[in-house]
Amino acid sequence: MRSLYVRYFLFLLVTLSCSVSGFAKKIQVCHDCSIISIKQAIQQAEEGDTIVVKQGTYYENEILIDKSLTLLSEDASVDGQDKGEIFIVKADDVTIDGFTIVNVGTSYIKDFAAIRIRESKNFAVRNNIIRNLFFGIYLEKSKDGIVENNKIYGKAKNEFNSGNGIQLWYSNNVIIKSNYVEKVRDGIYLEFSNYCQIEDNVSQYNVRYGLHFMFSNHDVVKNCKYIHNGAGVAIMFSKYMTMTDNLFEDNWGSAAYGVLLKEVNDTEINYNTFKGNTTAINIEGSNRVTYLHNDFIGNGWAINSNGANYHNIVNYNNFSNNSFDLVYRGPLNHNNFDSNYWSGYTGYDLNKDGIGDVPYRPIKLFSYIVNKTPESIILLRSLFIDIIDFSEKVSPIFTPDNLVDNTPITKYIKHDKDR
């Protein structure tokens, strides 16, 4: 009788424990545990399990995650010993959270990444710190995921032997939020990736671009900071993009831009701040782009329009103390430069409606001279240059005479920041 009870009890225990493990098991990895490597833990885990990696350094690479797992780290760091990729995800619903990942190998044939997510859905990469990397987080044909709060510290010096911080390739609907990337080739790079949201990221001291789009449409960039990059944001061959409330600062150099647009159509660039960049916006072959309520403060060149740009709208922006407000090539092509504030405006406003009574010509003759003989930049703000600029303003010969702001705003425009 008694043995029957025991048997019954045991049966209950077994079924219970089975059902629990079927639900979600927690596997611990640490140096003194029965499982001492992440790979081993993944092998033993089943779909939906959580692997908790305890404090310590784990020398592992090519960690393949082919089940839906949650990997949590408690101060664990993974050292790839420069041998190649570290985490490779090939399953849906995978979370990688809180790891310090160091020493990704460098290869000129393969793009080794600290975390690679391949053909997966609903992934989350959070709170990781990646150092000494080739590529940081590489999303490949994946979608509906989030990359959040990661910090990536590269040491890139040249473009040709460095990788990107966060790279998306054919990955749609990804949220990239609150990440910090420094000193890599491109901070964040999107190729063929649509409907992505890029928010609150900081990208600085990157060798090439802070954020780079290629053939990507319908992406949103919001509240990001791009400081001291080769170019803040480069958008190429893309459509229907939105960029708002970003800061572009001190992107210095002979080919350094706040924003570089090449063949970009139907895009909105509003409420951004451009401060102290060599060129704030460089535009080439871009149509129907609107630039509203941006601040251009103390840049070398605020807008450099390189031709083949049609139907662009530049309204309600502040152009304050830039060395050159506008450089323009070719005919006007239905581009509109009305209703901006120009700190160089010297006209008057008799009826006091805040709109200057005399149209403003934002193009200086000297910008043409600098374009032809770059050394002459050293004569910037010289009295002689002011005199020739003035005479050109009075009777334009070299600059397109229909490129004017017909309704220049006389006071610095206060944008509605909490709209």
Partner 1 sequence: MLKILKYSFYDLIRSRWSYIYLLFYLLLGIVLLFLNSDIGKAIITLMNVIIVLVPLISTIFGVMYYYDSREFTELLLALPLKRSTIFFGQYLGVALSLSMSLIIGLGIPFLFYGLLASGVIINFLLLIVTGVFLTFIFSAFSYCIGLKNENKIKGFGYSILLWLFLAIIYDGVLLTVLIVFGEYPLENITLIGTILNPIDLSRILILLRLDISALLGYTGAVFKSFFGNGVGSIISFFILLLWVVFPLFLLRKFAKRKDF
Q: Which of 349, 379, 393, 396 binds partner 1 (CB under 8 A)?
A: 379
Q: Which of 162, 193, 194, 277 binds partner 1 (CB under 8 A)?
A: 277
The one-letter code for the residue type at 2 is R
| In the complex, least distance from residue 197 CB atom to partner 1, rounded to whole angstroms | 30
By residue count, the chain amounts to 419
The residues, any chain, with a CB within 8 Å of residue 43's CB and separated by 6 or more, are none
CA terminus-to-terminus distance, the chain: 77
Q: Which of 197, 290, 343, 407 binds partner 1 (CB under 8 A)?
A: 343
Q: Is the dihedral of CA 264, 265, 267, 269 positive or negative?
A: positive
Q: Residue 79: beta bridge partners? A: 59, 102
Upper half-sphere CA count for residue 272 (Cβ side, 13 Å): 27
| In the complex, least distance from residue 327 CB atom to partner 1, rounded to whole angstroms | 11
Distance, CA of 84 to CA of 48 (rounded, Å):
27
The one-letter code for the residue type at 340 is N
Query: If you write DSSP's letter for every residue of 65-90 in order, what string do you get?
Result: E-S--EEEESSEEEE-TTSS--EEE-
| In the complex, least distance from residue 323 CB atom to partner 1, rounded to whole angstroms | 4
User: Is residue 207 within 8 Å of 156, Cβ to Cβ?
Assistant: yes
| In the complex, least distance from residue 379 CB atom to partner 1, rounded to whole angstroms | 6
352 binds partner 1 (CB under 8 A): no
Quick note: the x/- pattern for partner 1 over 387-416, rule CB under 8 A, is x-----------------------xx----
Quick note: the x/- pattern for partner 1 over 53-82, rule CB under 8 A, is ------------------------------
| In the complex, least distance from residue 412 CB atom to partner 1, rounded to whole angstroms | 7
| In the complex, least distance from residue 188 CB atom to partner 1, rounded to whole angstroms | 24
Judge residue 383's burial from the number of C-beta atoms within 10 Å of its C-beta, 0-12 exposed, 13-18 middle, 19 or more buried: exposed
Nearer to partner 1, 2 or 372 (CB): 372
Q: Which stretch binds partner 1 (CB under 8 A): 36-44, 56-64, 161-169, 377-385?
A: 377-385
276 binds partner 1 (CB under 8 A): yes
Q: Which of 385, 393, 396, 413 binds partner 1 (CB under 8 A)?
A: 385
| In the complex, least distance from residue 27 CB atom to partner 1, rounded to whole angstroms | 54
Count H helices, E strands: the chain? 4, 38
Nearer to partner 1, 256 or 264 (CB): 256
| In the complex, least distance from residue 369 CB atom to partner 1, rounded to whole angstroms | 7
User: Is residue 371 within 8 Å of 327, Cβ to Cβ?
Assistant: yes
User: Is residue 339 within 8 Å of 359, Cβ to Cβ?
Assistant: no
Tokens of 371: 């374009």
User: Is residue 127 within 8 Å of 150, Cβ to Cβ?
Assistant: yes
Nearer to partner 1, 278 or 335 (CB): 278
Q: Which of residues 129-148 bind partner 1 (CB under 8 A)?
A: none
Quick note: the x/- pattern for partner 1 over 291-330, rule CB under 8 A, is -------xxxx------------------xx-xx------
Nearest partner of 147 among 190, 189, 185, 178, judged by Cα = 178
The one-letter code for the residue type at 236 is M
The footprint of partner 1 on this chain (CB under 8 A) covers a number of residues equal to 37
Nearest partner of 119 among 152, 96, 145, judged by Cα = 145
Q: Which stretch binds partner 1 (CB under 8 A): 99-107, 223-231, 234-242, 374-382?
A: 374-382
Grouping H, G, I as helix, E, B as strand and the rest as coil, residue 306 is coil
159 binds partner 1 (CB under 8 A): no
| In the complex, least distance from residue 371 CB atom to partner 1, rounded to whole angstroms | 11
Q: Which of residues 225-264 bind partner 1 (CB under 8 A)?
A: 250, 252-254, 256
Nearer to partner 1, 73 or 282 (CB): 282
Distance, CA of 271 to CA of 276 (rounded, Å):
17
| In the complex, least distance from residue 248 CB atom to partner 1, rounded to whole angstroms | 11
Q: Which residues bind partner 1 (CB under 8 A)?
A: 250, 252-254, 256, 276-279, 298-301, 320-321, 323-324, 343, 369, 372-387, 411-412
